[in-house]
Amino acid sequence: MPKSPLVAAVLALVPGLGHMYLGHYRKGAGFMAGFALLQFFDFDLDLTVVGALIGAPLELGGFGLWLFSIFDAYRIAKLMNQRG
């Protein structure tokens, strides 16, 4: 069943939720955890281990991770629909 890129992007306003909608639960949980660490504990540093796990550049900080989450969820949904 095709997934809507727009719905994935809107859900990704909560980091990780768009990825979970797409069935990428591990990546979604990684975005949620990464964002929570960066925002709630003010860890604005290069978390390369977490970034490597979810494939996101965390050195951008919480805001950068949030924007990347939205873009990535949209991009993955488009790719999933193209592949069928």
Q: pLDDT for 15-60, tens place per residue?
A: 999 999 999 999 999 999 888 887 776 655 555 566 666 666 555 5
- Rounded to whole angstroms, the Cα distance separating 67 from 81 reads 22
> Contact, 74 vs 9, CB < 8 A?
yes
Sign of the Cα torsion 70, 74, 75, 80 reads positive
Q: Is the pLDDT higher at 66 or at 20?
A: 20
| pLDDT-derived band at 66, boundaries 50, 70, 90 | confident
pTM score? 0.76
| pLDDT-derived band at 64, boundaries 50, 70, 90 | confident
> Contact, 65 vs 4, CB < 8 A?
no
H/E run at residue 62: helix 61-83
Q: Is the pLDDT of residue 76 over 80?
A: yes
Given this model, what pLDDT does residue 79 score? 96
